[in-house]
């Protein structure tokens, strides 16, 4: 089961065929945060794996600051910590394993708190029990120093490679994976970023 936001939405088409025949249950929607999913009670099967992937959205009612706006900065990570812990508890109670997905650096000049880095630290700190693991999938679409990368050298197993020997891995919006201008939902064409991100997740799923 993949629970997440628009990053998960763009990843899903690449993740499904990498799971070795396992069925992928979709539980994602663009713009959502973990707290949007804690009351939805997705049908988690015993023995399954729940992949949790959220980049730091703060747009929906559960991320309200109570004063007509939405949470910002450190308040985002605090709300995420509580909600992700609940999702983990729900999954483990259903006898499922959990994979927490590290997110990629993005470009946002207003994000002084560096939300992605803070969230990744939280996800990693939660992977301390046998049934919860952390995978730094975001690193697969970043430069070696962890900074934002728009394009990277092609991988040996990619179905497409640009004439320069590189592929675009991030969208022009500085957040998503689809090459070019922002678009909603899964990519309409090949996305090297989504493939790399999905490949890292697949390798973290037990039994794949």
* pLDDT tens, residue by residue, 120-132: 999 999 999 899 9
Query: In CATH, what class is 2-204?
Result: alpha beta
Domain positions in the chain are 2-204
Locate 178 and state its tokens. Answer: 């689809």
Cβ-based burial of 206 (10 A; exposed 0-12, middle 13-18, buried ≥19): exposed
In the chain, what percentage of residues exceed pLDDT 90? 85
Segment 46-99, tens digit of pLDDT: 999 999 999 999 999 999 999 999 999 999 999 999 999 999 999 999 999 999
CB 48 within 8 A of CB 40: no
Sheet holding 49-53, edge to edge: 26-28, 2-4, 49-53, 97-101, 132-135
Residue 114 pLDDT more than 80?
yes
Cα(84)–Cα(166) distance, integer angstroms: 35
């Amino acid at each position: 089961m993949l629970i997440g936001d628009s990053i998960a939405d763009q990843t899903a088409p690449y993740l499904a065929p990498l799971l070795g025949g396992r069925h992928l249950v979709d539980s994602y929607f663009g713009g959502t945060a973990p707290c949007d999913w804690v009351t939805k009670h997705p049908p988690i099967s015993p023995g399954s794996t729940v992949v949790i992937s959220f980049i730091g959205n703060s747009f929906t009612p559960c991320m309200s600051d109570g004063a007509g706006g939405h949470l910002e900065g450190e308040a985002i990570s605090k709300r995420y910590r509580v909600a992700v812990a609940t999702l983990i508890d729900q999954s483990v109670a259903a006898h499922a394993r959990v994979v927490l997905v590290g997110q990629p650096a993005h470009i946002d000049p207003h994000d002084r708190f560096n939300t992605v880095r803070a969230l990744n630290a939280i996800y990693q700190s939660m992977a301390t029990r046998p049934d919860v693991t952390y995978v730094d999938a975001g690193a697969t679409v970043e430069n070696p120093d962890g900074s934002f990368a728009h394009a990277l050298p092609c991988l040996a197993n990619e179905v497409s490679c640009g004439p320069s020997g590189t592929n675009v891995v991030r969208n022009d919006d500085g957040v998503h994976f689809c090459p070019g201008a922002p678009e909603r939902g899964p990519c309409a064409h090949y996305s090297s970023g989504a493939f790399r991100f999905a490949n890292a997740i697949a390798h973290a799923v037990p039994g794949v």
